[in-house]
Structure 1
Amino acid sequence: MGLEDSCVHCGFCLESCPTYVVTRSEIHSPRGRIASVKLGISSVGIETCMFCRRCEAACPSGVEYGRLIHLRREEQPLRKAMNLLMERPKLAYRLLKASSGLNSSLIKRIRDFIPSVDSPLDYREDNPNVLLFPGCLMALSFRKTVENALRFIKSKGYKVEIVNGCCGLSHYSEGEKKRSEELIGNLKEKFKGRRVVSLSSNCSAHMREMGLQVEDFSEFALAHVNGRVNMTVTIHDPCHANLIGLTKVTRDVMRKVGIKVVEMDEPSFECGAGGGYFLYHPEISDEVMKIKAEKVKKSGVNLVLSTNPACSLALAFKGLKPVHLADILGESA
């Protein structure tokens, strides 16, 4: 029995799916994609999936939709090249810096979406007892957040080593089956027996689902935070982090430090970035980002707590002000 056979085509997934919401096309819905797999036919819908997996939370039959898409998608040269680049954040930094004079549509889209990059932070103390894993995009685009996370962890008496690299979530979502397994295997060796704090919450979720013992920064913060913070935010729930309950921990931290939270409509509605999706399907991506921005604006709060870098970039792209939990806690540490 295949993963697709447990789908009863009830339609509960439809309104949870961002690509269906913006296209109103069954082809671009989880149910439509599963139907194409059952029928053994080719469908553009397999490639337009944003891999947010919100449909899994909505599904009463427990369809493992993420696994189904992972198994059905095939490697594509451009996506494979981009993923290979992101495995090496320092190389990505140098290439993005060197591309400032290029005018291709792909480079322009990247630079519009990621307007500034920094060299990933290297840091290691003698005999570290915490490994800080920023994740590839966080290391490249939010060095200040990495510095704030480092400051907060050190302020609690820990010795830290930063481990830059990639968890393989993009590879997994885009059909690079062998390479995604290799990356997880490499991290298992690196992390073995060590305490690991992961700064990008979707990376945290993916690594946990792949069997790695990692602690999300929100979990570390909840165990160590003290004091009060006078601030009002609305919260975006990154898709994979939401699936495993990490977004509840973020709210626990907010309550513990007294931050006022004004909830937006559907906090887990996809940000629109979809990892590298914003590059490969810009029209759908932009429409999803527009809806997300409208949901944020209706909350009346422009400061958005986002614990995942692709989400933060998408929010900033629409003129909003994303802030990571590490920025709130680290700047006052």
Structure 2
Amino acid sequence: MGLEDACVHCGFCLEACPTYVVTRSEIHSPRGRITSVRLGISSEGIETCMFCRRCELACPSGVEYGKLIHNVRQENAAKKALNLVMEKPYLAYRLFKSSKGLNSRLVRRIHELIPNMDEPLEYREESPEVILFPGCLMSVAFRKTVDNALHFIKSRGYRVEIVNGCCGLSHYSEGDKARSNALIQQLNEKFKGKRVVSLSSNCSAHMREMGLEIEDFSEFALSELRDERRELIVTVHDPCHANLLGITKVTRKVVEKLGIRVVEMDEPSFECGAGGGYFIHHPEIADKVMEVKAEKVKKSGQKLVLSTNPACSLALAFKGFKPVHLADVLEGVENLNPS
């Protein structure tokens, strides 16, 4: 019995799916994709899935949709090349800097969505007690957040090592089974016996599903908070994979403990529109999803959005909001003016 056989075609997944919401097409819905797998026919819908897995939360039959898509997708050359580059954040940084101005649709799109990259932070103390794992995109697109997370962990008395790299979530979502497994094995060797704090919450969720023992930064922060308060008003975006595994609940506990006022947006876990590298490779659908997300955020009346995943933060910034990570908030609110 295949994973697709658990689907009863009820349709509960439809409105949870961002690509269905913006296309109103069965082809671009979880149910439609499952049907194509069941019938053994090719479908463009397989490639247009954003892999947010919101359908799994909506599904009354418990269809393991993420595993199903992982098993049937075939990664193309462009996606594979970009993923291989992102495995090495320093290489990504160098290529980003040298590619500005190149006449390539893919390169133009990357620079449009990621206005700036910084050199990844390298840091290691003798006999480190904690590994800080920013993930690939956080390392280069949000270097200041990495700085803030490092400072927070050190302020709690820990010796720290930063390990820059990739968790393999993008490879996994696009069907590159061998490479996603290899990256998890590499991280397992690096992390063995160490306390690991992951800064990108969707990476945290993926690594945990793959069997790695890690803490999300929110979990570390909750265990280390003292009597601290922050005078701040935000709306909160719940990244999709982190939401699926309940990590976003911990983020909200930290926010509550800090006394931060939250004005809820409409459907906080609705897909941001990034979908990992989706907003680079599928701009037409991604832009429509980002616009729907923007309308949901606007209903909160806030420009400052708490977002603990870098691709989500890039999508939110692209639509004119100011995303901030929990690590940024913990380091102070002086520079968090939403304007």
User: How does the TM-score come out when normalised to structure 1?
Assistant: 0.99
Q: Which residue of 2 aligns with 1:237?
A: 238
1:101 positional shift = 2.5
Q: Distance in 2 between matches of 1:238 and 1:156?
A: 27
Residue 221, structure 1, aligned to residue 221, structure 2: yes
Q: Which residue of 1 aligns with 2:336?
A: none
Residue 113, structure 1, aligned to residue 113, structure 2: yes
In structure 2, stretches of 5+ residues that fail to align are 334-339
Q: Which residue of 2 aligns with 1:122?
A: 122
- The answer to whether the Cα contact below 8 Å between 2:230 and 2:332 also exists between their aligned partners in 1 is no
Q: Distance in 2 between matches of 1:184 and 1:218?
A: 22
Q: Which amino acid aligns with 2:271?
A: E
- The answer to whether the Cα contact below 8 Å between 2:184 and 2:210 also exists between their aligned partners in 1 is yes
Identity value in percent: 75
1:55 positional shift = 0.1
User: Deviations 1:99-145 (Å, cap 9, x if unpaired)?
Assistant: 11212111110001000000000000011100000000000100000
Q: Distance in 2 between matches of 1:305 and 1:162?
A: 23
Q: Which residue of 2 aligns with 1:164?
A: 164
Q: Which residue of 1 aligns with 2:140?
A: 140
Q: Distance in 1 between matches of 2:327 and 2:72?
A: 37
Distance change (3 Å), C-alpha of 1:331 and 1:121: farther
Q: Distance in 2 between matches of 1:155 and 1:149?
A: 10
1:42 positional shift = 0.5
Q: Distance in 2 between matches of 1:283 and 1:225?
A: 42
Q: Distance in 2 between matches of 1:242 and 1:148?
A: 23
Q: Which residue of 2 aligns with 1:270?
A: 271
SS of alignment partner, residue 101 of structure 1: coil
- The answer to whether the Cα contact below 8 Å between 1:237 and 1:247 also exists between their aligned partners in 2 is yes
Give the aligned length: 333
- The answer to whether the Cα contact below 8 Å between 2:137 and 2:311 also exists between their aligned partners in 1 is yes
1:61-140 equivalence runs, <5 A: 61-140=61-140
Q: Distance in 2 between matches of 1:225 and 1:147?
A: 18
1:224 positional shift = 1.0
Residue 295, structure 1, aligned to residue 296, structure 2: yes
User: How does the TM-score come out when normalised to structure 2?
Assistant: 0.97
Q: Distance in 2 between matches of 1:258 and 1:100?
A: 42
SS of alignment partner, residue 151 of structure 2: helix
1:331 positional shift = 3.9
Q: Which residue of 2 aligns with 1:43?
A: 43
- The answer to whether the Cα contact below 8 Å between 1:148 and 1:331 also exists between their aligned partners in 2 is no
Q: Distance in 2 between matches of 1:103 and 1:329?
A: 41
1:279 positional shift = 1.5
Q: Which residue of 2 aligns with 1:283?
A: 284
User: Deviations 1:210-243 (Å, cap 9, x if unpaired)?
Assistant: 0000000000011111311000000000000000
In structure 1, stretches of 5+ residues that fail to align are none
Q: Distance in 2 between matches of 1:269 and 1:173?
A: 18
Q: Distance in 2 between matches of 1:19 and 1:245?
A: 23
User: Deviations 1:242-263 (Å, cap 9, x if unpaired)?
Assistant: 0000110011001101000111
- The answer to whether the Cα contact below 8 Å between 2:235 and 2:306 also exists between their aligned partners in 1 is yes
Q: Which amino acid aligns with 1:272?
A: G
Q: Which amino acid aligns with 2:199?
A: L
1:330 positional shift = 2.4
Q: Which amino acid aligns with 1:305?
A: L
Q: Distance in 2 between matches of 1:42 and 1:280?
A: 19
- The answer to whether the Cα contact below 8 Å between 1:14 and 1:20 also exists between their aligned partners in 2 is yes
Q: Distance in 1 between matches of 2:176 and 2:231?
A: 44
Q: Which amino acid aligns with 1:266?
A: E
Q: Which amino acid aligns with 1:185?
A: Q
Q: Distance in 2 between matches of 1:136 and 1:79?
A: 15
RMSD: 0.9
Q: Distance in 1 between matches of 2:281 and 2:81?
A: 13
- The answer to whether the Cα contact below 8 Å between 1:234 and 1:264 also exists between their aligned partners in 2 is yes
Q: Distance in 2 between matches of 1:298 and 1:330?
A: 28
Q: Distance in 1 between matches of 2:145 and 2:51?
A: 25
